[in-house]
Chain A
Amino acid sequence: MPLDYPIHRRTLPNGLRVLVSPDHTVPNVTLNLWVGVGSRHEETGRTGFAHLFEHLMFQGSRDVRSGEHFEALMAEGGRLNATTWFDRTNYFETVPSGALELALWLEADRHGRLLDAVTQENLDNQRDVVKEEKRQRYDNQPYGTALVDVYAAVFPEGHPYHHPTIGSMEDLDAASLQDVHAFFRRYYAPDNTVLTVCGDVEPEEAFILVERHFGPLDAQRRPARADLAQLEPLTAPVRVERRRSVPNDRLHVAFRLPVDGTDELVAATVALDCLGGLSTSRLVRRLVRREQVAVGVHATAWGFVDGVSLGFVVLDIAPDADPETAELALVEELDRLATDGPTAAELEASLAQNERAWLSALASQEERADLISRSTLLHDDPGIVNTHLDRVRAVTPERVAEATRRWLAPDSRAVVAYLTDDVADEEAVA
């Protein structure tokens, strides 16, 4: 079924890219903003800053007091939040249609006039909140820091993706009000932002409202640096071992992948599906169903734009099994997929599951708005929401084999092993 979600696009004189996708099935509107700043833009000594800054966006701006953004929208039936990731910072709310202009006014105030309200007290409070977020989601979880180790193992020191979005406690402590001001002036500007309105509104009305509130914001007119060149796969395996109080051994086997928006990344993603991303993947059949050396296998690819993406397979090792057996099996399956390519059934399964997942995402106004913002900020092409599945359908067995050979070679793997510490006297394999 060809997708045809309507998307209308305009760019304001100050550079703000505005997308409107009308949908009157529910009396709601989603407002979704992607700002072109994420942890990849952070400087040495200031990791975690983009995310800490995102928290400050809820602490008041010129005409909005601290906490009022949440309160005002929730009292009108709004559901809202914000997230920070490697490539971007995302602010979003879904409100009854009649509250769209209020949402735009609130967003414009903080995206244009935040610095009038930022205080040391708010910075200190949100620094504490973010440190608790880090403890809750990373430090106090059994395998919570494994992905932090993965980023550091796969990407070289100094590379934009070498450090996690949450940052480090030391760097969070070092963040100052001066940093907040400099960061806002450098990155928060209409010409570094995409705004999507999706839902129960006519395009013309939405454009008028956006223009009214965001039109007065000043462009920054400071071109972003060009994205880095594609990072080649690792040339030799990298290995990180951690002995921890974890319930069972777990291996994260990670690879550098081609950048987001390329056919090659789509092919590599299908390859990872065939290996471990589906319930019928090779490694699931072999390690979980037949040999039973793993209790779970997962594989995923995260598309990034700054010269490289990340792919990884997670092997959850059965309590009495040897992680090395599982890793050797993975190496064998990588070789086999590189040589023989996927079967017709595997390709069909990957496509069918991608299709359901994509349609499910688009079924929600919120996620549709998010995907439109993403496609526009990262690739300047909102139409990707309608064309992405065609790209997946075009993947051939040959392209999957080729992507496996080039990007998923066993020698290009970085393994982060979290091993139970009840065998602490056993010699760690370096």
Chain B
Amino acid sequence: MTRPEVAPPRPWTFPAPRETVLRNGIRVLLHDLPGQYVHSLRVVIPSSLATEPPGLDGVSAMTARLLDEGTSEHTAEELAELMERNGMVLGAAVSDGGYLVDVDVPASRLSTAAGLLTAALSDPVFPETEVRRIVRSRLAEIEQERASAGVRAAREMARTLWDPADRAARPGAGSADSVRALTRDDVVAHHARTIGPSGATVVLAGDLSDLDPERILDETLGGWTSSTHEPAPAAVAPVPAADRSRVVVVDRPGSVQTEIVVACPGPDRSTPHGWAPHPVLSFVVGGSPGARLDAVLREDKGYTYGIRCAFRPRVAGGSFVTSGSVRTEVTGEAVQLVLGILDDVRDGLTDAETRAGVDYVSKTAPGRYATADTVADESAALALEGLPPDFTTCNLRAVAELTPESLAEAYRRTVTGEWSVVLVGDAESVVPALDGVVPGTVTTVDV
């Protein structure tokens, strides 16, 4: 049987939202997606982690987490039961640019869900017992994160990559010390100051036929007001550490693998040079078993289950991060190979790589944005980043125009050959293996 020909894909654009404004000024983006019977509702509120009060790192994350732990109408348990009986799930998180609160709910319960979400945002009472409980729970989580090589590595990388005075160098959700210090009053004050309808965007994606989403949202989130909310300053890109070009080994005695993370500062999606090359570069360098990193480290050497790289945009600034784990014995050689491969890309990409990367990023888009939750997540991210709703579609057009030269140029803008390297593993085995393998100093820290 001969190899079949492939018919060209049908044209596709990111589902365009219908834009409207609620009576309190909140901007609304509605994505009608036929056949999507679970609705995804997102609220983004610009806010800056850099304005957390000194010593209270993590107060934003704790505030987000405590939103659904009791309102003036319902206790924490009542609220949990109401949400659960309505098939609703609510999550809240915080990034460098603000809060993201997300709700998924079957279409038939949208109205109830929007009402409960409004109460959680506008009227949380932060009961003392719940604050204490969530603090304890977060402290236990911090210990669990420390025990995980991947999370521990990410934390050390933030500390190595960014200037010590920059908020980005410290964990977004706080350290054990800062979380332990949090009081109910801190959370109440932080909510009053940072969470309000001003500047917020609401995204709703799902099958909107037989519904009046504007009315439902206006009757719920449209009634949300705040007299204390202070508009957030614009997010600022983190300042790289002056001494970021170095190697840090986090000693995790007895580890059978070494977690490797290699990074440098990178762009956000608003970069004036254009975002388009970055996802293509991520794919070609470290986005598949056939990409440059895994072709050597996995498919040729068998050192790893997989090493991946990606440009990770923040709301402002970002990073280019390569990560994966290898067995302890080959750590030295693996680090050398990774750095060599990453540096080699500065010399350019082949036509075949360019075509494969462009095709992958362009043609996978319809599938990556095929469900209500993925459309809502992208739309909410764009809103928080201050990008227009047609960004995704325009970016795909730009992807199609990329050449080996434009890709290499974009790569060289970020990758200068100065790397921050973090290795989480058995220091006794790992450190001697780095001799002559990595440039710069090697520091060892405890797990």
Complex alpha-carbon distance, A124 and B299, angstroms: 11
CA–CA, A329 and B85, complex, Å: 25
Q: Is A10 engaged at the interface, CB distance under 8 Å to the other chain? A: no
Contact A280 B84 (CB under 8 A): yes
- Tell me the residues in window 320-374 of chain B with beta carbons closer than 8 Å to chain A beta carbons: 325-327, 355-356, 359-360, 362-368, 370-373
> Contact between B370 and A132 (Cβ–Cβ < 8 Å)?
no
Is A248 within 8 A of B143, CB to CB? Answer: yes
Q: Which of A1, A96, A137, A141 has the most CB of B within 10 A?
A: A96
A289/B76 contact (C-beta < 8 A), A25-B34, A97-B10, A295-B140 known: yes
Residue of B nearest to A106 (CB): B3
**Interface size range on A against B:** 35 or more
CB neighbours (8 Å) of B111 from chain A are none
Known A-B contacts A67-B290, A76-B363; A355 and B325 likewise in contact (beta carbons under 8 Å): no
Closest to B36 in A: A363
Chain A residues with CB under 8 Å of B257's CB are 132, 135-136, 139-140
The residue in chain A whose Cβ has the minimal distance to the Cβ of B298 is A129
- Contact of B80 with A by CB under 8 A: yes
Find chain B residues with CB under 8 A from A132 CB: 257, 302-305, 325-327
Hey, what's the 0/1 contact readout for B26-37 against A, CB within 8 Å counting as 1? 000000011111
B contact patch SS: mixed
Does A75 contact B143, Cβ atoms closer than 8 Å? no
**Chain A contacts of B305 at CB under 8 A?**
129-130, 132-133, 136-137
| A131 vs B304: C-alpha distance when bound (angstroms) | 9
Measured in the bound complex, the distance between the Cα atoms of B283 and A128 in whole Å is 24
Q: Are A129 and B304 in contact (CB under 8 A)?
A: yes
The reply to whether B37 and A75 contact each other, CB–CB distance below 8 Å, is no
Q: Is the CB of A318 within 8 A of B136?
A: yes
Complex interface: chain A residues within 8 A of B363 (CB): 76-77, 96
Interface string of B129-140 (1 = CB under 8 A from A): 000010011011
Chain A residue contacts of B133, Cβ below 8 A: 288-289, 292
CB distance from A324 to the nearest CB of B (A): 18
Contacting residues, chain B, for A352 (C-beta < 8 A)? 84-87, 106
The one of B3, B10, B302, B327 that contacts A125, using a Cβ cutoff of 8 Å: B302
Is A325 an interface residue, CB under 8 A from the partner? no
- Do A71 and B356 have beta carbons less than 8 Å apart? yes
**Bound: A216/B302 CA distance, A:** 35
In chain B, what residue has the closest Cβ to A139? B256
Alpha-carbon distance between A360 and B38 when the two chains are bound, in angstroms: 6
Asked if A98 contacts B8 (CB within 8 A), the reply is yes
Cβ–Cβ < 8 Å partners of B325 in chain A: 132, 135-136, 140
- State in angstroms the CA–CA spacing of A137 and B257 once bound together: 11
In the complex, A117→B438 CA distance in Å?
Answer: 39
A225: interface (CB < 8 Å): no
Chain B contacts of A63 at CB under 8 A? 3
Which of the segments B55-63, B145-153, B177-185, B265-273 contacts the partner chain?
B145-153
User: B104 in the interface, Cβ–Cβ < 8 Å?
Assistant: yes
* Complex-state Cα separation, A280 to B6, whole angstroms: 50
Residue of B nearest to A5 (CB): B35
Tell whether A213 is near chain B: CB-to-CB under 8 Å. yes
Q: Which residues of B contact A13 (CB under 8 A)?
A: none
Q: Roughly how many angstroms separate A212 CA and B8 CA in the complex, as a whole number?
A: 21
Question: Min CB distance, A11 to chain B, in Å?
Answer: 21
- In this assembly, does B230 line the interface, its C-beta being within 8 Å of a C-beta of chain A? no
Q: Which single residue of chain B is at the shortest CB-CB distance from A66?
A: B299
Decide if B144 touches A26 in the complex (CB within 8 Å).
no
Tell yes or no: A92 within 8 A of B by CB.
no
Interchain nearest-CB distance for B120 vs A (Å): 14
Q: For residue B85, which residues in chain A have a CB less than 8 angstroms away from its CB?
A: 345, 348-349, 352
Return chain A residues, CB-CB under 8 Å to B34: 25
**A96 partner residues in chain B, CB cutoff 8 A:** 9-10, 363, 366
Say whether B148 contacts A1, CB under 8 Å: no
Instruction: Say how far B362's CB is from chain A's closest CB, in angstroms.
Output: 7
Contacting pair A364 B371 (CB below 8 A): yes
CA distance A124 to B302 in the complex (A): 9
**A79 near B367 (CB under 8 angstroms)?**
yes
Residues 235-257 of A at the B interface (beta carbon under 8 Å): 245-248
B 366-394 binary contact with A (CB < 8 Å = 1; else 0):
11101111000000000000000000000
Tell which of A58, A126, A353 touches B87, judged by Cβ atoms closer than 8 Å. Answer: A353
Does A147 make an interface contact (CB < 8 A)? no
Instruction: Determine if B81 and A70 form an interchain contact, defined as CB atoms under 8 angstroms apart.
Output: no
Q: Is B242 an interface residue (CB 8 A)?
A: no
A279 within 8 Å of B by Cβ? yes
CB distance from B430 to the nearest CB of A (A): 14
Q: Which residues of B contact A156 (CB under 8 A)?
A: none
Which chain B positions have C-beta within 8 A of A360?
Answer: 38, 104, 373
CA distance A246 to B290 in the complex (A): 36
Say yes or no: is B318 at the interface (Cβ < 8 Å to chain A): no
Cβ of A28 and Cβ of B355 under 8 Å apart? no
CB nearest neighbor in A for B105: A356
Answer yes or no: A105 CB below 8 A from chain B CBs.
yes
**Bound complex: CA of A130 vs CA of B302, how far in Å?**
9
**Contact status B373-A349, CB under 8 Å:** no
Closest chain-A Cβ to B333's Cβ sits at a distance in Å of 14
Is A228 interfacial (CB 8 A cutoff)?
Answer: no
Q: CB of A23 within 8 A of chain B?
A: yes
Shortest CB-to-CB span from A311 to chain B, Å, is 20
Beta-carbon contact of B290 and A248 below 8 Å: no
Any chain B CB within 8 A of the CB of A378? no
Judge whether B370 and A248 touch: CB under 8 Å.
no
What residue of chain B has the Cβ atom nearest to residue A23's Cβ? B35
Which residues 57-95 of A sit at the B interface, judged by CB distance below 8 A?
58, 63, 66-67, 70-71, 74-79, 94
Determine if B403 is an interface residue (Cβ-Cβ < 8 Å): no
- Say yes or no: B9 contacts A356, CB within 8 Å: no
B51 at the interface (CB under 8 A from A): no
Interface contact B84-A349, CB-CB below 8 Å: yes
Partner of B360, one of A26, A74, A292: A74
Residues of B within 8 A of A359 (CB): 37-38, 106
The distance from the CB of A96 to the nearest CB of chain B, in whole angstroms, is: 4
Q: Given the complex, which residues of A lie within 8 Å of B429, measured CB to CB?
A: none
Known A97-B9, A128-B301, A140-B149; 18 more pairs at CB < 8 Å? A25-B33, A25-B34, A66-B299, A71-B290, A75-B355, A75-B359, A76-B6, A76-B359, A96-B366, A105-B1, A135-B327, A140-B257, A247-B146, A285-B77, A295-B141, A355-B106, A360-B104, A363-B35
**Contacts from B to A (Cβ < 8 Å):** 1, 3-10, 12, 33-38, 76-77, 80-81, 83-89, 104-106, 108, 133, 136-137, 139-141, 143-144, 146-149, 254-257, 283, 288-290, 295, 298-305, 325-327, 355-356, 359-360, 362-368, 370-373
The 10 closest A-B pairs by CB, nearest first: A77-B363, A128-B302, A98-B7, A352-B87, A96-B9, A101-B4, A247-B143, A133-B305, A27-B10, A349-B84
Residues on A facing B (Cβ under 8 Å): 1, 23, 25-28, 58, 63, 66-67, 70-71, 74-79, 94, 96-99, 101-102, 104-105, 108, 124-133, 135-137, 139-142, 212-213, 216, 245-248, 278-280, 285, 288-289, 292, 295-296, 316, 318-319, 345, 348-349, 352-353, 355-356, 359-360, 363-365
Question: Can you list 12 residue pairs at the A/B interface with Cβ under 8 Å?
Answer: A28-B366, A66-B299, A71-B288, A77-B363, A97-B7, A128-B303, A137-B305, A142-B148, A247-B140, A316-B140, A356-B106, A363-B373
